[in-house]
Structure formats: structure tokens, C-alpha cells
Amino acid sequence: MNIEIDNGNHLVFSANKNFKEFCEIIGSSKTIKEISPNFFFFDFENNLKWNLDLSSGYKKFLFGKNKLIPNTKLLDYFSLLKFFFVNKNSSVFEIVGNSKIFKTFWEPLTLGVMNTDPKMASAKVLSNVLKETIYKGEKFCRIFQPKKNWNETLIKPAIVQIKKNGGRINFSNLLKKIDIVDNYVNELSFINHKIKVNKNDTVIVAIPPTNLSKLLGNCSLPKQYNTILNLHFKIKHKDIKLFRKPIVGFINSITQWVFVKNNHLSITVSNANNLNNTNTEELIVNVWNEIRKYIKKKIIYENVQIVREKKATYVQSSNNINLVKKFNKIPENMVIAGDWTQYNLPCTIEASILSGKNAIETI
């Protein structure tokens, strides 16, 4: 494509204090832009457009002059209150599946935040997110996006910081075996070399649950993952200007979110296992037609790149979360990290940063 793209669109809420702290530490806060929580939606099937404007807080959204979602009444939004107290085993669908705003609010929110079908997604995790964001007010649900890309905001400055502090990074060096003696890690075998580990050393392992399970010998950890599919369309600058909103949610379509970048459009489809085997050309045509219908113009793209992240996150159901909670097959001198270890939060950048922070605090 001749442009730098992220694998996907990582949206971060301003409530994410560990993310903010991390950016301060690595000196990248200035590379972030804040977007007001004013979500523009397009219902592809019914050709309807509306604004979900939380920029003045949810109370003003509900009781102010703003327009509600088409064909809904104030009463339909009381489903928001249902998440104050939820059972730890309930799914999002069990709580709000019959709500009139399920298709237009709860489903896109759950897919966007948890990459899990609402019929599977843990209501408890979504409730934790709502308590930290929408329920707290506008200040906590602003959206952070990188001015350029996540490589410039997170990866590059973090690598500089690690090296500055004497750390070394060995890319493409898979951990193949963990030798454990008397419940202590004794040796780590990578593809290229081995590391002897003493009992008083600490090994922090931050890899996905199925990979860890293989290394520790068949643990009861989540095995189901969900794909996030992204289609990146490079388009002319004059066409970028046609998209007046930085982020648009799509309903009743393949496209779920359109992120308007400086030089391309980036389309996100979460919970996309059903599209893993779909013909790529067909997918591109169908998604591009959805974009054209939204913009009401027959614009053309210059180039397209499709990225299927098949193990984007594990399926965040209460069953899987219980497996993570109960997991205790960890050697004495090992600490685990990674987004999935923070089971009270969705698998996000915030959760992965928090997991690293918690791991360091343990040792």
C-alpha cells in the first residue's frame, strides 16, 4: 500500500489510566489525539443515520435536546441501569437481549469492547467497563487514537525506553520449552538459545493462554479465540474529506466500524470467525459497496490491504473467565502477564499494560 497501517483499530477510552501512565513513562503522550465521544451511526439495511452523542454525558443525551436512536423512546434506555448489578455467570444477551436498543447499542458496544458475541460475552466484564466509562461521565469516555499510528505511540517509544534501561529485545525467538524442576522453572529453551533459571530468578511470561498451556503441559485455559478482521482502503485525500466523522458505526452490514485516517479508511469487523474462509475479493467488494452507500458517492480506492487476526482475543465468556480465575498451575518462580490475565477487564491495551504493571509489582 506504500503507507504505514496498524493491524487494526485500537480504540482506547480516556478512563484507561494505566494506558495514560504508560504513555507518560515512555514519553509519547503528545502523539495521542482525543476524540469526543460523539458516535455517528449508519443503519445499512434501513438507510438511517444518527448521532449517539455522549459528549455532554449520558444524562444530557437522555434528557437533553439531543436526538435519541431512531424509533426508540426514553424508556428503552433504562436497560443501561441493568448493568449496575449483574450475576457473574450472565451473558450480555441475558441482561439486555430483549432491549429495543440491543441491535443499535448493546450489540455494537459489546462487539467493539469485548470482541465476543453478546450471547457469550460476560455481562460482568461489560458492567465493569460501563462503571469506569459511561456511568462516570464524558471525561471518562473520550476516545484516544494515535495521531499517526500505534507503532509511533506505543511500540517505538517503548522499545527506546526498554533499551535505555538496559533491556534487550530478541524478536522472532520463540520459547519452545519450559523445563520445570520441583515446581520451579529451571531452564527456558528458545529456538536460538537456552537460558538457565535459578530458583530466586523470576520469569515473566506474557503469551496467549493456548501457547502457555502447551508450554506448561495441557492446562485448563481458554482455547476459543475470535477473529478481528480489518480492511484498509487507501483513498485520495479529497475523498477522505467526504467522511466528516472520524469514527462511524455501521449496523446490519458486514462493516461494523469505519475509522477515517489521514490517508486511508480502516474498516473493523469484530467477532469475525464466520468470515475466516470468505473469499477475500468478494469481501472487499461487499464492504466497499457498503462504504459507497454510506457516502452516497461512487468513490474508488487506490489500494486495499486485508488483515485477519484470527487470535485477536479469546472468547470472553463467563466460562472462559472462570478457567482463567481458577488457573494455578504456575511454577513458583514464574509470573504470568498478558491482557487475558486481567479477567475483570476486557482483553485490551489497558489490560495488557495493567498485567505488566501487576507482574512487576509481584516481584
- Footprint of ligand FAD (CB under 6 A): 7-12, 174-175, 206-208, 211, 228, 230, 309, 312-313, 338-339, 347-352
Query: Min. distance of Cβ 250 from ligand FAD in angstroms?
Result: 16
**Closest distance between ligand FAD and the C-beta of residue 237, in Å?**
25
- The DSSP secondary-structure symbol of 55 reads T
Nearer to ligand FAD, 38 or 355 (CB): 355
Cβ closer to ligand FAD: 119 or 177? 177
CA distance 334 to 179: 12
Angle 262-268-274 from CA coordinates, rounded to 5°: 155
Cα three-residue angle 205-210-215, rounded to 5 degrees: 55
Residue 115 CB, nearest distance to ligand FAD (Å)? Answer: 7
Residue 38 or 213: the one with the smaller Cβ distance to ligand FAD is 213
Pairing of strands 203-205, 334-336: parallel
Least separation in angstroms between CB 319 and ligand FAD: 20
Smallest distance, ligand FAD to C-beta of residue 339, A: 4
Name the helix (H) or strand (E) containing 359. Answer: helix 349-362
Cα distance between residue 234 and residue 179, in whole Å: 47
Q: Which residue, 137 or 356, has its beta carbon nearer to ligand FAD?
A: 356
Nearer to ligand FAD, 267 or 299 (CB): 267
Shorter beta-carbon distance to ligand FAD: residue 52 or 349: 349
Give the DSSP letter of residue 8: S
**Do 40 and 248 contact (CB within 8 A), yes or no?**
yes
Closest to 324 measured CA to CA, from 347, 299, 304, 356: 347
In the bound complex, what is the minimum distance in angstroms from residue 338's beta carbon to ligand FAD? 4
CB 249 within 8 A of CB 40: yes
